[in-house]
């Protein structure tokens, strides 16, 4: 049973080593981890734009062959998850995959968004928090944009929140492993 | 023929007015614009978390009823698109929808990412740009994470880039209208 492992680890200095660590953990729980790294894809003779398109379609094909997705939604260059990861979660959800996720930052989405703003948010006349552009800061008490969490919940998945030291924010796999444990329970039922 | 209109307009001070503007433009091009606003959904008696989950599932149902999606991927609180929008693009792509997108910021993803960093990026020994966490800054010459653009291209959609004054970044609809024109051409073929 194949699991697609989504997340910003593809941007780490050694994405192949990061992929191997996830694959090994998947195997320990009885699953096959699918963790695309660009090195697996033949990009010979392609322009940078063509290469990017090829990688994206390769990733989509990988997701189509999986029964579940475990997404690392640790905030990436802003208060939210990596958008490529969010895209893959939506893609997997539409295909009926079980969508699980973990984040290595447990602070609420509202808090993170507030802290990321250059100009402090204000509570407007309608009693809602708004940034300097007048854009709403949501206060649902959830971990990221509601589309992500709603897809996780509806798919029968789970969201695991951990707090780790900043230097291992993109490499700590305790949340990933907790997702694997939950998935094994789900499959056994 | 229904089009799902995705984007961060739901966070504007008057999301219903923003939705109406998009719906009117869709009608002018012979389409029905589907622009979910929370006000349409019965959230009575739900906790904030339950309400968020209900809204997300309502949005997924809306996408299932459409043949195309036009996503506003204007950068939102960081160098990338709103993650909810990215999720919806992946969701639509997996269902076979035509995925079109526009951004009101034409600067490249690489440039925007560089400018968003608190600590300047460095070109590492492998000749790749990396941020202070060692995470790669991609240089594909595209507008956002490759999953988004690859999905657009593979679906037969298009990406329209505009540059608008900052104060109308989330309301200018010229890019949206250009997507509608392209979609009408596609449908007529």
**B8, B78, B153 ranked by CB distance to A53: nearest:** B153
Q: How many CB atoms lie within 10 A of CB A103?
A: 24
pLDDT recorded at residue B37: 85
Q: pLDDT tens digits, residue range B108-140?
A: 999 999 999 999 999 988 899 999 999 999 999
Q: Does B60 lie at the interface with A, CB-CB under 8 angstroms? A: yes
Q: Would you call A149 and B60 a contact, using CB atoms and an 8 Å cutoff? A: no
Contacts of B70 (CB under 8 A, 6+ apart): B3, B4, B5, B6, B100, B101, B102, B176, B179, B180, B183
Instruction: Please determine, for the modelled complex, whether the ipTM score is greater than 0.90.
Output: yes
- Across A34-43, average pLDDT: 85
Q: What is the pLDDT of residue B36?
A: 84
For residue B94, which residues of chain A lie inside 8 Å, CB to CB? 60, 63, 90-95
- pTM of the shown model: 0.98
Q: What's the distance, CA B98 to chain centroid?
A: 13
Place of tokens 């994206």: A56
A87 → closest Cβ in B63, B78, B148: B148
Inter-chain residue contact A77 with B82, CB threshold 8 Å: no
Q: State residue A21 phi and psi, 5-degree precision.
A: -60, -40
Structure tokens at A98: 């079980």
pLDDT at B82: 98
Closest to A85 (Cα-Cα) out of A27, A11, A26, A16: A11
Mean pLDDT calculated for residue range B39-60 = 93
Side-chain-side CA neighbours of B36 within 13 Å: the count stands at 25
User: How many helices and strands in chain B, by DSSP H and E?
Assistant: 6, 7
């Amino acid at each position: 049973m194949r699991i697609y492992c989504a997340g910003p680890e593809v941007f780490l200095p050694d994405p192949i080593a990061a992929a191997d660590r996830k694959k090994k953990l998947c195997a320990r729980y009885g699953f096959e981890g699918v963790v695309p790294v660009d090195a697996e894809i033949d990009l010979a003779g392609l322009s940078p734009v063509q290469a990017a398109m090829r990688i994206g379609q390769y990733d989509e094909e990988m997701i189509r062959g999986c029964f579940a997705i475990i997404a690392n939604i640790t905030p990436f260059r802003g208060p939210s998850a990596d958008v490529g990861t969010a895209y893959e979660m939506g893609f997997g959800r539409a295909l009926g995959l079980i969508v699980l996720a973990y984040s290595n930052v447990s602070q609420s989405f509202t808090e993170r968004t507030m802290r990321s703003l250059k100009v402090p948010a204000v509570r407007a006349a309608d009693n809602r928090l708004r940034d300097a552009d007048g854009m709403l800061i949501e206060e649902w008490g959830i971990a990221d944009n509601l589309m992500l969490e709603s897809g996780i919940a509806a798919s029968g998945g789970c969201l695991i929140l951990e707090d780790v030291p900043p230097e291992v924010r993109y490499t700590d796999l305790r949340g990933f492993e907790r997702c694997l444990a939950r998935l094994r329970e789900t499959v056994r039922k």
